[in-house]
Structure 1
Amino acid sequence: MAPVATLLWHALHGSFEHWAHLAQYVLPVALRNTALLLAGVGVLVSCLGVGSAWLVTAYDFPTRRVLSWALLLPLAVPTYIIAFAYLDLLHPIGPIQTLVRDILGYDSPRQFRLPDIRSLPGAVFLLGFVLYPYVYLTTRIMFSSQAASLLEAGRILGETRRSVFFRIALPMARPAIAVGVSLALLETLNDIGASEFLGVQTLTVSIYTTWVTRSDLAGAAQISLAMLVLVAGLILLERHGRRHQRYALTQRSRPLRPQTLSPARSLLAALLGWTPIVIGFVAPALYLLNETVKRLGSAGQLSSQLISSAVNTVSVSLSATLLTILCGLLVVWVARPSRRPSALFGIAARFSTIGYAIPGTVLAIGLLTPFVLVDGLFNHILSLFSRISPQLWLTGSFTALVIAYAIRFLAISVGGLEAGLARIPPSLEQSSRLLGETSAGTLRRVHLPLLRPAIGAAALLVFVDAMKELPATLLLRPVNFETLATWLYAEAARGTYEEGAIAALGIVLAGLLPVILLARTQFSMEKKT
């Protein structure tokens, strides 16, 4: 809660003349662009996610089983990397437009060129194709678990397959769709690299430029509060949209048997299914690989700055992962149901995970003042016992980044560990305590060995998300401290795409790890079904 309170304090103590300027010239454009971006991305991820989930659930065609997990691959590509890749791929003299002109018989961009990707529609297109897996994953699970008897009853009562989808399957999947869309929209709000690369002035970009370019911390805090209101509105809208969505099955459900398609329709289904994968993963990944090979072929070795950025990325991500898992374990263990925690513990556990809903730029601004106060306190205490000169202990090191990552990704740790703890029978803890073991000893000797798979999965997700985090890293990193994400951002800002391709490829390869984990989990569930 400290970052939110700090934002409020800075906003109220800022100059209201600046607020009037922001309200007149900055906020209207940023709010309009943000609202249009959210609306466009929401519609696109819904269509892509729901359509692809129903395609691989209800129909059988060649490559369907591969497609069912390959549709998750765009999750490995951060939003700023897909913008980075397509800015070069879709450049007027880039490979795609050059190929199109050669096919159509044109000689130069003056005769024919595609619409500029640096636009709001371009941002909607790219973000939609990289964020649709959030909707696909939740909706696919819902479609797979729906009882085939309900859909067959609709067919018996005279409904067509299209009508069964729109009147039975889709309404039942609305809660899952709402969750997936809300996650995609929160990622859209957190994005700063893609929006800035594509020339879209969103609230996130406005916060960054107001603080860094104009050195107006109070103005940035005021915009951040407006953004927090938008985040809260999205969460409330998602809750409101599924407040009455409840259903129960009184018998064991039988999964839907996919319909075998004719050869022509099978080809069309395969093309439709693989299109978002090619756009959201294959094309940018091949581009990054090609640029990396060209860069290594010409230079012969990696630059020392890039190696240093990679080391920094791994160091800060590992430190953040360790802190986040420890904090998550503490929250889950204290608030476990068998302990019968008080309402206060339940509220505290719920509030501890709200950082995931706070965009990185907003979180960074809210943490700045608490970090400065802690640095001042450390310096004061040390001055009482030694002559060590005052230093920036938090803000001058990557400790600030580690704490920010832990706050932002604690929800991932808590969610994974809660799921793992729920699979452990309470009788094991009761038996341990009856045999004289303490609570800490029970955790160490009973629960931690059983929680290893959950801890490993949660640690992997936190580590990769920390590697990909750009907004908070840009604002809280120490001087001359680069990660792969900030290195890529700087190279893209300078227009040297071949230099940033190696860093981008490294981030994508790291992002493949949790995607493979999710795919294995989904595939094993499908085999059991």
Structure 2
Amino acid sequence: MLLPLLALVATALSSRQAAEIWPHLAANVLPTALVQTSLLLVGIGTACAVIGVGTAWLVTQYDFPGRRSLEWLLVLPLALPTYLTAYIYVEFLGFQGPLQSALRAATGWRSLRDYWFPDPRNLPGAIAIMAIVLYPYVYLSTRALFSVQGASIVEAARNLGAAPGRLFWRIGLPLARPALAAGLTLVLLETLNDIGATEYLGVRSLTLSIYTTWVNRGSLPGAAQIACVMLLIVFALILAERKLRGQRRFALPVRQPRPVTRRPLHGRSAALAALACVLPVLFGAALPIGYLLTEILQRGLLAQFDAALLRLLGNALLLSGLASILVVALGLGIATASRSGRETWLKPLARIASLGYAVPGTVLALGLLIPLAAFDNLLADAASALFGLKPGLILIGSGAALVIAYTVRFLAIGVSGVESGLARVSPRIDDAARALGAAGPEVLRRIHWPLARPAIAAAGLLVFVDCLKELPATLLLRPLNVDTLATVVYGHASRGVFEDGALAALLIILAGLYPAFVLAKAGTNRAG
């Protein structure tokens, strides 16, 4: 975790070229990128807070038609990567798209001179499209908190005559601050990590500036300097989340509080509540998936399911599978050591190892490239001097660098998944096993693994899907002539023929639907 960050800072500060390029970046690149990124973060954060908190409050506090289904359907947009949603909406809302085509057919208009239609390729369009996919992070965290508050607080406020609006603003929202802060932090980190959607929608973000400075302009030190600026923003977001959450703790009056009695809604109120929950599902999941299915069937793209697509799918599955295995193995080791070790420095080291999720994929790829390339060159020189061999770039050329990037970035999911599973195992069971003579590995194999296996499997599944969707690190660290589903879709979109990659895009979404369903069902069961 620390090696790529240290390499990044060293590259940004050490070379003569770095000192020469900084004034140009500070004058011409960073001002626009910082303004665009700040506006993007504020807009997406606000929209996700409104949608996520509002829908979570409705499904936990009120009963209306369709609530049971909407409670888990609201999680489904999490299965769609932001870049895929951006590609789909640009095609759907474009001049040749189904919406404008139907509008012209109904009115007799012929060209854009006859009418005005909003263009999604701008900052407001990027905010709306990305927010409709990222709001489930806020929805999941706040729904969990609203569900476990217990009936006493809310019902006491109702008995004291609190109107629904006052109940939300004075009771619900203040109690949701820690969950809201955590969910918004994830939303903003995912926004900073994005490169496909912002590039396609015409937003000059910091992530895109890193990519263009490195790849298009060939300036590695300049890209490292922009990446360091982005790291400062990331750490500021983490500190702000901790400050907003503070040391707040919530006490419940009973050990297992009963859930809040949902107030039934009827008539117009029920219809409005259902509509408020249906619209995010419609625009965040149903419409994009329906558009892809329609394009595939109308264009006969099922014929693309050939050896080439299977090879792309195999590349994606292999890289994601290897990374998932590594993440689960390392997470198991870190969480077990942190649980059973007596040293005080173990827990801080476990937290440092889990910081990768906070680092955008572009920044992580840039930081990893430097030490991994140095290692590859050192190994190649040694093989040539000792054995006369020319092995080439072993880590970068084989895809191992990409697996390492996936592992570092998503290790936090593995550690937290294992920790949540081990939290269900009482320390008394460990003490009893040790008293019976069982050593650490035997306790792990015969007790921890069987009892924590469901949580570990869920964490591995989430890591696998996140690796399938990851675009920035994949673009920058994949070996030459090696593509995955994500890079092929990105290539089609960059050439303006996204519909040609509709089948590959659908495969990515289908891979993410099952984990999103499992996550939603697990959250619903816990709430119950």
Query: What amino acid is the match of 2:432?
Result: S
Alignment of 1:112-127 (within 5 A): 112-127=115-130
Query: What amino acid is the match of 2:211?
Result: Y
The residue aligned with 1:3 is 4
Q: How much has 1:247 moved relative to structure 2?
A: 2.7
Corresponding residue to 2:142 among 132, 139, 142:
139
Q: How much has 1:264 moved relative to structure 2?
A: 2.5
Deviations 1:466-504 (A, max 9, x none): 000000000001100101000000000011122111111
Q: How much has 1:115 moved relative to structure 2?
A: 1.3
Separation (CA, whole Å) in 1 of partners of 2:266 and 2:452? 47
Question: Greater shift after overlay, 279-288 or 431-440?
Answer: 431-440
Question: Greater shift after overlay, 57-66 or 156-165?
Answer: 156-165
The residue aligned with 2:204 is 201
Corresponding residue to 2:240 among 237, 240, 260:
237
Corresponding residue to 2:298 among 286, 294, 317:
294
Deviations 1:126-150 (A, max 9, x none): 0110000000000111111122222
Separation (CA, whole Å) in 2 of partners of 1:152 and 1:455? 37
Corresponding residue to 1:185 among 176, 183, 188:
188
Separation (CA, whole Å) in 2 of partners of 1:298 and 1:264? 43
* Compared CA separation, residues 380 and 136, structure 1 to 2 (3 A): same
Q: Secondary structure at the match of 1:49?
A: helix
Q: How much has 1:400 moved relative to structure 2?
A: 0.5
**1:163 counterpart = 2:159:** no
Retained in 2: the 8 A contact 1:97–1:113?
no
Deviations 1:158-200 (A, max 9, x none): 3212111100111011111111111001000000000001011
Question: Greater shift after overlay, 412-421 or 156-165?
Answer: 156-165
Q: How much has 1:426 moved relative to structure 2?
A: 1.8
Separation (CA, whole Å) in 1 of partners of 2:418 and 2:361? 23
The residue aligned with 1:108 is 111
Query: What amino acid is the match of 1:517?
Result: V
The residue aligned with 1:495 is 496
Q: Percent identity?
A: 49
Q: Secondary structure at the match of 1:300?
A: helix
The residue aligned with 2:132 is 129
Q: How much has 1:441 moved relative to structure 2?
A: 1.9
Separation (CA, whole Å) in 2 of partners of 1:143 and 1:496? 44
Retained in 1: the 8 A contact 2:424–2:452?
no
Retained in 1: the 8 A contact 2:36–2:203?
yes
The residue aligned with 2:276 is 272
Q: How much has 1:380 moved relative to structure 2?
A: 4.4
Separation (CA, whole Å) in 2 of partners of 1:475 and 1:181? 27
* Compared CA separation, residues 197 and 303, structure 1 to 2 (3 A): farther
**1:457 counterpart = 2:458:** yes
* Compared CA separation, residues 450 and 280, structure 1 to 2 (3 A): same
Retained in 2: the 8 A contact 1:306–1:487?
no
Separation (CA, whole Å) in 1 of partners of 2:303 and 2:75? 34
Alignment TM-score, normalising by the size of structure 1: 0.96
The residue aligned with 2:508 is 507
* Structure 1 runs not aligned, ≥5 long: none
Separation (CA, whole Å) in 1 of partners of 2:133 and 2:364? 24
Q: How much has 1:101 moved relative to structure 2?
A: 4.0
Q: How much has 1:449 moved relative to structure 2?
A: 1.9
Separation (CA, whole Å) in 1 of partners of 2:186 and 2:303? 41
Question: Greater shift after overlay, 91-100 or 174-183?
Answer: 91-100
Alignment of 1:340-351 (within 5 A): 340-351=341-352
Separation (CA, whole Å) in 2 of partners of 1:132 and 1:515? 13
Separation (CA, whole Å) in 2 of partners of 1:388 and 1:344? 43
Question: Greater shift after overlay, 516-525 or 55-64?
Answer: 516-525
* Structure 2 runs not aligned, ≥5 long: none
Query: What amino acid is the match of 1:29?
Result: T
* Compared CA separation, residues 299 and 279, structure 1 to 2 (3 A): closer
Q: Secondary structure at the match of 2:126?
A: helix
The residue aligned with 2:314 is 311
The residue aligned with 2:267 is 263
Retained in 2: the 8 A contact 1:146–1:255?
yes
Separation (CA, whole Å) in 2 of partners of 1:8 and 1:305? 40
How many residue pairs match? The answer is: 524
The residue aligned with 1:87 is 90
Deviations 1:352-377 (A, max 9, x none): 01110000000000001110122133
Deviations 1:326-369 (A, max 9, x none): 11111111111xx2431222221111011100000000000011
Retained in 2: the 8 A contact 1:355–1:408?
yes
Q: How much has 1:382 moved relative to structure 2?
A: 3.4
Retained in 1: the 8 A contact 2:304–2:503?
no
Deviations 1:16-38 (A, max 9, x none): 22111111010000000000000
Retained in 1: the 8 A contact 2:137–2:186?
yes
Q: Secondary structure at the match of 1:395?
A: helix
Q: How much has 1:317 moved relative to structure 2?
A: 0.6
The residue aligned with 1:410 is 411
Structure 1: which 4+ aligned runs deviate by more than 6 Å?
Answer: none
**1:254 counterpart = 2:255:** no
